[in-house]
Amino acid sequence: MLDDFMVRATLAGVGTALAAAPLGCFVVWRRMAYFGDATAHAAILGVALSLALSLPVFAGAMVVALVMATVVALLSGRGYAMDTLLGVMAHSALAFGLVAVSFLTNVRIDIMAYLFGDILAVSRGDLAVIWGGAALVLALVGWRWSALLVSTLNPDLARAAGIDPRREQLVLTLSLAIVVAVAIKVVGVLLITALLIIPAATARPFSRTPEIMAGLASVVGVAAAWGGLRLSYSFDTPTGPTIVCVVAVMFCLSSIVAALREGVSRRRTSGSA
């Protein structure tokens, strides 16, 4: 069954979506979109180092993403605004990564595949990495779910309950680095943040609890991966960007439905009054 490249691509998209969606909820709640973008951009430097040292791309991307997140955490609050610091780090890492790739004269590399993904070229080994990473992220988030929620909602309350917010931030950072590393093959470093944020934002208007939001975000992410892959195959369009286009349309539709529902609710309230 895994000899069919479309089956492998579908499994890769589903695995990435399942890992990214619950984590994306915390990115949305904590307003860490730029942090995710910076971590993803840094992954290109990890790709270059992996190829230069003949190491697995997953390992290099994850290590550099973790280093990036650690540096940002150490430098934050030391005279730099967070958005300025993330902007400098994100674009600097991407630029250094692209320059480093240009020096790899003995290695043939399709840089566009790393920037925008190449899900149709996913191998069995890539599938094992993607699903292994997804399982690890889901295990980490599930294990620390309550502590992550409390530290996200109120760090002071978390400390009073014996929870260290910095430790939970480290868990979130590690999970984010893993997602970035496994998603490179599917949507590329320039579109990873979209797969993190948009499913969570799409699910938010219809979620009464954090758990429901995470579940709906996973459904949205999986549907976008499957739909984008099919549309890309039918219309011969770039697969990674097509997946993001599908989830963006889903977000627009959810926003329209949420606005209409709110309008109806207001009219009912005013009518009963």
Domain ranges of the chain: 5-189
Q: Report the percent of the chain where pLDDT is more than 70.
A: 93
Average pLDDT over residues 77-90: 72
Closest CA to 192 of 227, 240, 230: 240
pLDDT digits (tens, 9 = 90+) for 152-175: 989 898 999 899 988 888 888 888
Q: How far apart are CA 16 and CA 19, in angstroms?
A: 5
Please answer whether residues 43 and 96 qualify as being in contact, where contact means their C-beta atoms are separated by less than 8 angstroms.
Answer: no
As a whole number, the mean pLDDT across the chain is 86
- 5-189 classified as CATH 1.10.132.10: no
**How far apart are alpha carbons 188 and 180 in whole angstroms?**
9
Q: Is the pLDDT of residue 2 over 60?
A: no
Contacts of 11 (CB under 8 A, 6+ apart): 2, 127, 130, 131
pTM of the model: 0.89
Instruction: Give the pLDDT confidence of 14-32 residue by residue, as tens digits.
Output: 999 999 998 999 989 988 7
